[in-house]
Amino acid sequence: MGVTERDVLVANGQPHKLLASASRLTSFGSRRDLLADPSAPFLESHKDGTSLGRVVEKYRASGLITSEATSEGLVPDSAKRAMAILMDCALTQRPLYDSTFPDSTRMARLKKLTQEEAFAGGDAGRFSEWLGLARGTQMSYLVAGSQDLAACVNAVRSLVESAEVIGNFRWRVGTKWGDIVIQDSQSQTTNLSNVFLLIDVGGSDTYVGGSNSWCSIVVDGKGSDLYLGDAGYKGKAVRLGASRGQQRLDSGPGRGFFGIGIIADLAGDDVYRSAGQAFGSATFGVSYLLDVDGKDLYDGYTNSVGFGFMGLGIVEDLAGDDEYRIFTQGQGCGMTDGVGWLVDRKGSDQYIAEDEILDFKSPQTAEHNVSMSQGAGTGVRLDYLFGHSLSGGFGCLFDLEGKDRYSAGVFAQGTGYWMGFGGLWDRDGDDTYESIWYGQGSAAHFAFGYLQDDDGSDSYVGTINMTQGAGHDFSLGMLIDSAGNDQYSSGSLALGGGNANGFGVLADLGGDDKYSAPGQAVLGQANESPEGSLRSLSLGLGLFIDAGGNDSYTSSAKYARNGAKNKIRANDSGAVGVFWDQ
């Protein structure tokens, strides 16, 4: 986690580095900038707008042109140069896509089974077929190509921002991969279904739907824009959409579904809203969304806003007080061999996983949703069906500045399930964390959950169970708070609690803190294993450390007091607890 945090800091403003770091946490890692910036050859080859015509001829020679280029008005030279760079890079990366999916029939079958969620394991035969096709897909090629495309998108940002607009203009050419468009600063609506590459130099625009192309790139220069999965969500929250459940498998803007989706919005207060999967959502693909500035709203339903399954899904917001909403599996969620990251670099933000409208009721408590968000790694558990499970991926939320609020139901805020890793790193500010069950550095079933808050006087509320540094069933749940006068309120199995051979760790490294923990197995306790079970031969650990300050405790545990140091053993079961207040 420490290595990943440093990578995220170093990659600020360099999306290809962010994608490379994420890829190395999967089976298809690569680093395309080992010798040089991947965008450098394309910048060198296209030094002005006259090169756009030459690239169009390269597409023609490749048999890709379906309708001739049309031009209206005075198209800025810098915008033409930017498009030439993107077009040339995409053409160069296409062989890597073809190497990922060399057999169109196999790809179509895998895509269909994935869309029908055959990987969920309802039918052993269909799951087995899906698994065979998935294992035969070499994602390393596509992920390598995505780094070059992301580097080029980042390189053309300054060209789009500096475009000198004189009147209205539009340039367009049709290709077998979709339309390539440069458009002016008017406020306009664009359907993305047939868009391959698009540069919009300004205006408050509306983008609707998801692309059907193997690659879709949108670079928007200025304006407060709308990105909608469906036009019906203009002015309507996803939670109020009557058809949201039927739309959850649809594709929205920027989705990388068996391909690459990139959105770069360079300015404005934007709204990203989709009930379909969108905005840093990758399934057998790569999806990257960059928002440079503005007070933005990200409103998704499921598998969105930083979600990866057999691929990389990343949202990076550089500035602004933003609001993030999701129902389940988002805001930094990684499934099998996938990475889902949400990186917010500046601003006081709100992260909300819907827990009032119960579309995804939790098995733990039907009064709350399974959030699996805000830094969650989750696998596919099938041991109780036919025994072939899939380990989880790597999901993280990184918030680097501001006073933030996190609210969720079950499984959230640095949580892992079934061999997955979920992490949340908040670097700065007085923050508030609210979750119900399996939250705030918790994990279950051979997984890892990790929450790290570096600074500020924070408030942690874990309502029912397994929160605030809690591990269940050979898992590790850890919460580290480095500074500030913090307040913790929890139920049972919390604050460094271990259960069923899990390890739970809470470490508060400074400040005058308050702990309210009326339940069982809290404050450095571990539940004993069943007598006569093999579990009794393995360690279960609860570890609570408060490393300084004048602290107060409200707890049934009599040993919990300021300055106390105790080791607690649960009979002879192998369960050990440590309470250490320095």
Q: Is residue 579 domain-resident?
A: yes
Task: In whole angstroms, give the CA distance from residue 21 to residue 147.
Answer: 11
Q: Is residue 196 domain-resident?
A: no
By DSSP bridging, strand 323-326 and strand 421-426 are unpaired
Q: Is residue 415 domain-resident?
A: no
* Domains held by the chain: number: 1
Task: In whole angstroms, give the CA distance from residue 37 to residue 47.
Answer: 17
Encode the chain (582 residues) as per-residue pLDDT tens digits.
999 999 999 999 899 999 999 999 999 999 999 989 999 999 999 999 999 999 999 999 999 999 999 999 999 999 999 999 999 999 999 999 999 999 999 999 999 999 999 999 889 999 999 999 999 999 999 999 999 999 999 999 999 999 988 889 999 999 999 999 999 988 999 999 999 999 999 999 999 999 999 999 999 999 999 999 999 999 999 999 999 999 999 999 999 999 999 999 999 999 999 999 999 999 999 999 999 999 999 999 999 999 999 999 999 999 999 999 999 999 999 999 999 999 999 999 999 999 999 999 999 999 999 999 999 999 999 999 988 999 999 999 999 999 999 999 999 999 999 999 999 999 999 999 999 999 999 999 999 999 999 999 999 999 999 999 999 999 999 999 999 999 999 999 999 999 999 999 999 999 999 999 998 889 999 998 777 788 888 899 999 999 999 999 998 788 999 999 998 876 667 899 999 999
Q: Which domain holds residue 563?
A: 457-582
pTM above 0.95, yes or no: yes
Q: Is residue 212 domain-resident?
A: no
SS3 142: helix
Neighbouring-strand partners of residue 215: 260
Q: Is residue 430 domain-resident?
A: no
Cβ(520)–Cβ(490) under 8 Å?
Answer: no
Q: Is residue 507 domain-resident?
A: yes
Count of CB atoms situated within 10 Å of the CB of 529: 22
CA contacts within 13 A on the Cβ side of 459? 9
Q: Is residue 26 domain-resident?
A: no
SS3 255: coil
CA 551 to the chain's CA centroid: 36
The dihedral built from the CA positions of residue 515, 517, 518 and 522, taken in this order, carries a sign that is negative
**Nearest residue to 300 (alpha-carbon basis) of 264, 254, 362:** 254
Q: At a CB cut-off of 8 Å and minimum separation 6, what does 256 contact?
A: 146, 281, 282, 283, 285, 286, 287, 288, 311, 312, 313
Neighbouring-strand partners of residue 171: 71, 182
By DSSP bridging, strand 65-74 and strand 166-175 are antiparallel
The CA–CA distances, whole Å, from 59 to 56, 138, 174, 176, 445 equal 5, 26, 10, 10, 51
For residue 289 the two structure tokens come to 């969304």
Task: In whole angstroms, give the CA distance from residue 471 to residue 278.
Answer: 32
Q: Is residue 568 domain-resident?
A: yes
